[in-house]
A and B are shown apart, each in its own frame.
Chain A
């Protein structure tokens, strides 16, 4: 997970931004490439029972807001555990999984999901 850190106020952002929302213009050209460890804590969580077409096969699944150790917050699935094993405060780590595909003959796209640690 590669985001940025503001060279002025040190706040981290994911996904990467060109301007720090807090610092404004002074941060242009000062946003540094920042690699997150992938570790974080669950900030909020829900179990999705009614899903979009692409995700029908996975339900029920856990969607959570994860606060990464370095500060930024992201949204992702929590996998490899029972849905009721995830709550606010649960520690997780990112891993790479298939997110979906553009139909049976289209491109497959991959991204991060989180596992309980």
Chain B
């Protein structure tokens, strides 16, 4: 399976763009990049977590198909949801549809419009990916659940405030190099530590922002890809795993078991190991999540992940570049779009188009997308084409 085109809007508070506009822009950029016309598209999969609550709109599969100008081809369009991992899951569903032989060329989109409502309401919607009956009802916010993981991680491994801040600092430094990122300015550790407290010990700058945005890719079989581009990016593996919805039902809260399992499945499928990966986009919705992710994915031993950012090991020129795009933290996190945006970044890296963010000699990339507090995890491994 290969990806022949990619596109995305900038991420941020896009006051001037509606949900459908963002979806179209990203889609058009991907189609142009793939050099295909709309008649050639056999199906669409749209990742979106909660348009129903953010903009009172359901049935977004049909909406995007319509406004992308594809309605006249009556293209089958499916909305896919798994919390914050909706984007990656949409790619996975598209992968199956092509692998089954039923569809040849499929567009995968991810979009979310989060800024049309107030903060407190946004937080309520965000926490719908957690366990409403047994977590949210008691007053747990999404951030507080990750704060509980942070406190426990600090207790079990000695992770420090400075180590958390270093993750945010690194990702903002990367974001500053990304013209599509929501935040394009570097920050200092003291700014993180002085930012308003959200849920102890997590502060505002430990958390990814509220964002609008859309991203899209076009996929087809590796064989067919040759017709469209001499720079296809191969999907070497797609893997998915689930875990308990509620944090309190997990065996350990200092790791995401679903990440470990999805990673193992992905590396098995690609017949590779963590050390083969040059660049990875991991789900840093909070600074602690990146620290746990790089351990669970196998890039660093358990307990050592906390040192990686502060020691420069995960910078663009580090041992393994983590979140060269700026990650969810600096690039932004429009919930349903993030999973696809991660793919877009890896594509640019593998094609050598990442400009100032380019990781030298990037041949293999990995994306890691999480739903809820780790109840769904989807991992993809991509490789530079021949």
Contact = CB atoms under 8 A, between A and B. Distances in A.
Q: Is there any pair of Cβ atoms, one from A and one from B, under 8 angstroms apart in the complex?
A: yes
Interface of A: 15, 43-56, 58, 61, 63-65, 73-77, 88, 99-100, 109, 111, 113
B123 interface: yes
Interface of B: 119-121, 123-124, 127, 134-141, 143-144, 147-152, 155, 196-202, 246-249, 253
Please indicate which of the listed interface residues A52, A53, A64 has the most CB atoms of chain B within 10 Å of its own CB. Answer: A52
B138 A77 contact: yes
B140 A63 contact: yes
Contact of A44 (B141, B149, B196): B149
Nearest to A64: B148
Contacts of B149: 44
A65 to B, nearest CB: 5
A70 to B, nearest CB: 14
A50 B247 CA distance: 19
B138 A63 contact: yes
Given A63-B144, A63-B148, A74 B121 contact: no
A47 B148 CA distance: 9
B287 to A, nearest CB: 14
A113 B123 CA distance: 22
A44 B151 CA distance: 6
Contacts of B139: 48, 51-52, 54-55, 58, 61, 63, 77, 99
Contact of A100 (B137, B196, B248): B137
A73 B248 contact: yes
A88 B155 CA distance: 8
Nearest to A49: B197
A88 B151 contact: yes
Contacts of B148: 44-46, 63-65
A23 to B, nearest CB: 16
Given A48-B199, A75-B248, 8 more contacts: A45-B151, A46-B148, A48-B143, A49-B196, A50-B199, A65-B148, A75-B246, A113-B138
A110 to B, nearest CB: 11
A50 B124 CA distance: 11
Nearest to A88: B155
Contacts of B198: 49-50
A20 B124 CA distance: 31
A101 to B, nearest CB: 12
Contacts of B143: 48, 50
11 contacts: A44-B148, A44-B151, A45-B151, A46-B150, A48-B140, A50-B141, A52-B127, A63-B148, A74-B134, A75-B248, A111-B138
8 smallest CB-CB distances across A and B, nearest first, come from A46-B147, A44-B152, A53-B120, A44-B148, A47-B200, A73-B248, A55-B139, A52-B124
A58 B141 CA distance: 13
A58 B139 CA distance: 9
Given A15-B134, A74-B248, A75-B247, A43 B196 contact: no
Contacts of A64: 148
Nearest to B198: A50
